[in-house]
Amino acid sequence: MKKLIVLVVLAIVALFISFSAAGEGEELQARSSIMVIMTTVITPATDTMWSIEEPKTDAEWQVFAQAADDVIRAGRAVRGGGSGPHDDDWARNADWQAWADTMIAAAESAKSAAEARDVDAYIEATDVMYPPCEECHVAYNPGLQ
Ligand code: HEC
């Protein structure tokens, strides 16, 4: 009987530990704020994209394909809002969604260009990617352009 109680207690403890582990995992996947996405993903990725010159090797091209992919994923997150105080209100607006879509579409073109090793098409796509940054900032983050 004592043994059974010990087993039950152990089972409960194990259950508790697995629940709290799941809780931590969820927290790690929690949504970021728009500000954090901008400064930690979009800024470094677009800095890379706008600095493209003449990548030659697969590994060099991979850096530019990856940067474009980072912007695609960050753009989708931006489109869906975030954890900042105004993020979800902003993201409900049609102009916000349109600028996010333009940025995502441009990054998708850049990714295809990287896969095709076409530097001119890549640069063209990054030119299309810039106006939505500026237009969205004028509307939602005046002071920064
Ligand atoms: C759909 C709207 C939208 C688009 C598109 C967008 N941004 Fe932003 N960005 C914002 C908002 C809103 C903030 C300010 C967030 C806040 O104040 O919480 C911001 C902040 C930033 C910041 C931080 C500025 C600061 O005040 O410190 C940088 C850097 C930035 N964006 C870069 C970019 C770049 C580069 C692009 C284009 C590739 C881009 N953003 C596209 C909405 C956008």
Number of domains in the chain: 1
DSSP codes of every residue in 62-77: HHHHHHHHHHHHHHHH
Query: pTM for this one?
Result: 0.84
100 lines ligand 1 (CB under 6 A): yes
Residue of the CA atom closest to atom 3 of ligand 1:
136
**Residue 131: which domain range?**
2-144
Residue environment code for 63-75, b if the CB has 16+ CB neighbours within 10 A, otherwise e: ebbebbbbbbebb
Residue of the CA atom closest to atom 34 of ligand 1:
133
Runs of H (alpha helix) within the chain = 2-28, 34-37, 43-50, 58-79, 87-91, 94-115, 119-140
Task: Please provide the distance, in angstroms rounded to a whole number, between the alpha carbons at the two ends of the chain.
Answer: 71
Q: Report the CATH number that the domain containing residue 82 is assigned in CATH.
A: 1.20.120
Per-residue confidence in pLDDT tens, the chain, 145 aa: 666 655 555 555 554 444 444 444 444 457 899 999 999 999 999 999 999 999 999 999 999 999 999 999 999 999 999 999 999 999 999 999 999 999 999 999 999 999 999 999 999 999 999 999 999 999 999 776 5
Residue of 92, 93, 133, 145 best suited for mutating to test ligand 1, as the one with most atoms within 8 Å of CB: 133
